[in-house]
A and B are shown apart, each in its own frame.
Chain A
């Protein structure tokens, strides 16, 4: 519906465009670019090139010069041929979402993608950019695929959708811009903002922050066990590995002795976002000390443990708390 207010009208158009785009290029973690997904339009230099063509044609007409005609037509046809070449530079390219690194608010999440070409033909000067994120220029000239990392600043706690990724190219002549907006369905997880608080019941804060890094010496070592996915890298018995043994993790006796609960109910009267921030803070502190900790949220309980996998689970639970229908 056209509106009297041009700004409202414009934003309405944008909405319609987004909805149309969502139908045309639905979110997918792997997208191969084809004629349904690629847009092409003359670039700024392309329009100037058209002016140049007109100028040459006028020269040809006014001087009745057949070779000037020939150049005008050759360049005009070159312009048409350039559409095919520019289109072909994006066609057949496959983009695949790899990972989106979870981050804390205010940081930039790293989005890793893989680019794969369809055949042996080279693709040049592909520009990838997320709105508000970093952009990059790369070519697939002598390799079939490559991995790309792009960084996008994130917003608040929860899933951060970076929006649609712009893939564009001006190759070979710069007269056309060929582009697409793909939704790679790769949201990044944003943890709550850590916020220090008074001591929690059952957790001592005696260890001043910063001196707690030396975990290995602070507790009693009591043996090895086979490495399990999720074990902290600090636990890995690197010396043994260097000697050629299988990967092992060092076990410390103190893990079973301390076991703290990070409890939602421990902060009576504190607003819920702030509670999550405190819990997040303590999860980081305890993980750094190498002490076991569990998490209790309304409707969710994670048994005490320690290690990267556990920390990820805890932080993810905190990040997604309160968002209906989202699974950590």
Chain B
């Protein structure tokens, strides 16, 4: 009993329910923040990264007691300054990038308000969202693995928040969240494949600041050679049949028909007369090539395909110059199936507008080149002969194919190229060739795209890199229509047969700016094999997972279940939910059930229960002999039975090792028998 005057002690022993964030949780929150920020580093202005570092240092100093939390006013000023700085950096607040920057700066400043568990929830939930935002920029396989790790880290922060007694950092906190996410994984897969894919509900901010990549819609000498320094993948192609020889793989993307201000450009939509807007009807002839192109985002509209291509897919148009064109800019990867008939005759009759357009030349400039063309044209019998003669000219004169062409003057670049430097890349040759064709009266145009590609032996895809970018020419010949002519092939046949790397092997300029690209180590066999295997995996990933859409889903479900109906989906989700969660529940609760009592104790508890049904309840902690004594007094008729039972039980419990296992078993069996027969009342 408590002495009255000493009452009112403080409640000892228990800490009050969690008012503060455990230290372990704080450390995990900061770790997860850094991990979440890392993939965005290159996209963010430098000052934002510095702001984040400063807030993290500040918060850790608060943690060590060397600084205090900023006041309300300071936080308000900081928030406004951050807002303004983002507006100044991006020029607006509406695109995806400024939105992400705003989120990240909120994420950083929230760290300075991290006092109570409530703040930690806000921060961690924001963390989940920032992880998702990263996927809007890239869904690369490596990034996905990394993001899974960040999800574990954020969840670790949540779990650590609920372990109030862990007051120092520990790695073991990772276990619980990793286990939980692993348990969640199978059902996620089911939902991923079954959840109906619907179109966008409303327009969302787009990546306004993302750099356009790949071939651009105009060409000056020097443009493509700079592209050739990049080892990035432009697209991957999977052929349904045999892969055609590399020298036939001319991936057409753009057609440049207009020479303006020393640069080639495509015809603008407004420049096309009404009749030329759509392609003329074409009867495909010759062999068919069927293939699927998986294109990476370019932020441009044009698609790449082999000559005379048709694609039957919503959002893809055919242009009058026989290219494929996407109605929207390609911001996400795009997969499209194409059928091509490379030997089809295109435009046996040229309209007068088309002829005039494909022959047009500026009034001045490159006059020496034009004169040379006229001289060669005079010696040639017909148009085809003229083409051959010009190609012969390139082949016989000492032209050099190089990635490092000298700069050309902007007034008469081709005169300088043909008669002085004679060193050039594909765009120089295509430019000069088309110029000479037009000067000689043959309709011609420059075509830009990619040439060749690397065949991955692992999965038989053709990988087309940025350095495969190429420019060539198309000339219109009577009865033969548009014919592809590649003047570069005349100068450097290796470029077409073997690829850029072999063609410029002598000058060591291949990927000179990407010293770490695995492509540079193709000579080392295992590195190369590893690279190709990873690329094959990437292709699978991008075509099956990232590219999974409504159509694919329909096909998959049709194959799996025979029909696609909503109730079926619901049934499958529910069934798999039960199938996945039941083992989890079993695993969790198995370790929490009350331990089984040793058999002798179980027997005694049964005895007590029988006594209780007769009105004698054993008090907690009452010794068996005392209890027996009480039975003796209160229910004398049961006395003999109870005494016998108690004696046997005490012998079983307290004789220890002196009892042989066999007699122990006998004694137990005897007790159980006594119980089954029930209390014998003495009469």
B25 → A minimal CB distance (Å): 11
Say yes or no: A84 contacts B588, CB within 8 Å.
yes
Q: Mark A87-99, 1 if CB is under 8 A from B, else 0.
A: 0100110100000
The answer to whether B168 has its CB under 8 Å from any CB of chain A is no
A179 → B minimal CB distance (Å): 13
Docked Cα-Cα span, A169 to B548, in Å, equals 40
Beyond A63-B200, A148-B13, whether A171 also contacts B162 by CB under 8 A is: yes
Docked Cα-Cα span, A305 to B165, in Å, equals 49
Q: Mark B145-168, 1 if CB is under 8 A from A, else 0.
A: 001000100010011011111000
Residue with the highest number of chain B CB atoms closer than 10 Å, among A63, A108, A110: A63
Say yes or no: A148 contacts B14, CB within 8 Å.
yes
Residues of A within 8 A of B534 (CB): none
A97 and chain B: residue at smallest CB distance = B620
Beyond A62-B201, A118-B594, A149-B11, whether A81 also contacts B581 by CB under 8 A is: yes
Say yes or no: A67 contacts B135, CB within 8 Å.
yes
Docked Cα-Cα span, A284 to B165, in Å, equals 42
B117 and chain A: residue at smallest CB distance = A174
B590 and chain A: residue at smallest CB distance = A119
The answer to whether B16 has its CB under 8 Å from any CB of chain A is yes
Say yes or no: B594 contacts A103, CB within 8 Å.
no
Which one of B67-75, B185-193, B244-252, B439-447 is at the A interface? B185-193
The answer to whether B378 has its CB under 8 Å from any CB of chain A is no
Say yes or no: B162 contacts A71, CB within 8 Å.
no
Docked Cα-Cα span, A284 to B139, in Å, equals 79
Say yes or no: A137 contacts B200, CB within 8 Å.
no
The answer to whether B584 has its CB under 8 Å from any CB of chain A is yes
The answer to whether B592 has its CB under 8 Å from any CB of chain A is yes
Residues of B within 8 A of A74 (CB): 151, 181, 184-185, 188
Beyond A84-B584, A88-B588, whether A101 also contacts B2 by CB under 8 A is: yes
Which one of A120-128, A239-247, A295-303 is at the B interface? A120-128
Beyond A78-B184, A136-B16, whether A119 also contacts B129 by CB under 8 A is: no
Say yes or no: A119 contacts B162, CB within 8 Å.
no
Q: Range of interface residues on chain A? A: 35 or more
Residues of A within 8 A of B38 (CB): none
Q: Mark A66-79, 1 if CB is under 8 A from B, else 0.
A: 11111111111110
The answer to whether A308 has its CB under 8 Å from any CB of chain B is yes
A71 → B minimal CB distance (Å): 5
Say yes or no: B577 contacts A80, CB within 8 Å.
yes
Residues of A within 8 A of B184 (CB): 74-75, 77-78, 80-81
Beyond A32-B594, A137-B15, A149-B13, whether A102 also contacts B158 by CB under 8 A is: no
A148 and chain B: residue at smallest CB distance = B14
The answer to whether B521 has its CB under 8 Å from any CB of chain A is no
B544 and chain A: residue at smallest CB distance = A66
Chain B interface residue count, Cβ-Cβ cutoff 8 angstroms? 75
B304 → A minimal CB distance (Å): 22
Beyond A81-B183, A85-B180, whether A120 also contacts B591 by CB under 8 A is: yes
Beyond A56-B132, A84-B581, whether A119 also contacts B14 by CB under 8 A is: no
A78 → B minimal CB distance (Å): 4
The answer to whether B195 has its CB under 8 Å from any CB of chain A is yes
The answer to whether A64 has its CB under 8 Å from any CB of chain B is yes
The answer to whether B501 has its CB under 8 Å from any CB of chain A is no
The answer to whether B545 has its CB under 8 Å from any CB of chain A is yes
Say yes or no: A150 contacts B11, CB within 8 Å.
yes
Say yes or no: A127 contacts B185, CB within 8 Å.
no
The answer to whether B595 has its CB under 8 Å from any CB of chain A is yes
Docked Cα-Cα span, A311 to B16, in Å, equals 35
Partner of A136, one of B15, B125, B200, B584: B15
The answer to whether B546 has its CB under 8 Å from any CB of chain A is yes
Residues of A within 8 A of B176 (CB): 172
Residue with the highest number of chain A CB atoms closer than 10 Å, among B7, B549, B590: B7
Say yes or no: B132 contacts A119, CB within 8 Å.
no
Residues of B within 8 A of A128 (CB): 14
Residues of A within 8 A of B (CB): 29, 32, 45, 48-49, 52, 55-56, 58-78, 80-82, 84-85, 88, 91-92, 94, 101-104, 107-108, 110, 117-121, 124-125, 127-129, 134-139, 141, 148-151, 170-174, 194, 284, 308, 311-312
Residues of B within 8 A of A (CB): 1-2, 4, 7-9, 11-18, 117, 121, 125, 128-129, 131-133, 135-136, 139, 144, 147, 151, 155, 158-159, 161-165, 176-177, 180-181, 183-185, 187-188, 191-192, 195, 197-204, 332, 545-549, 577, 581, 584-585, 588-595, 620
By Cβ-Cβ distance, the 9 closest A-B pairs, closest first, are: A136-B14, A92-B592, A77-B184, A67-B135, A73-B191, A121-B591, A88-B588, A77-B187, A107-B7
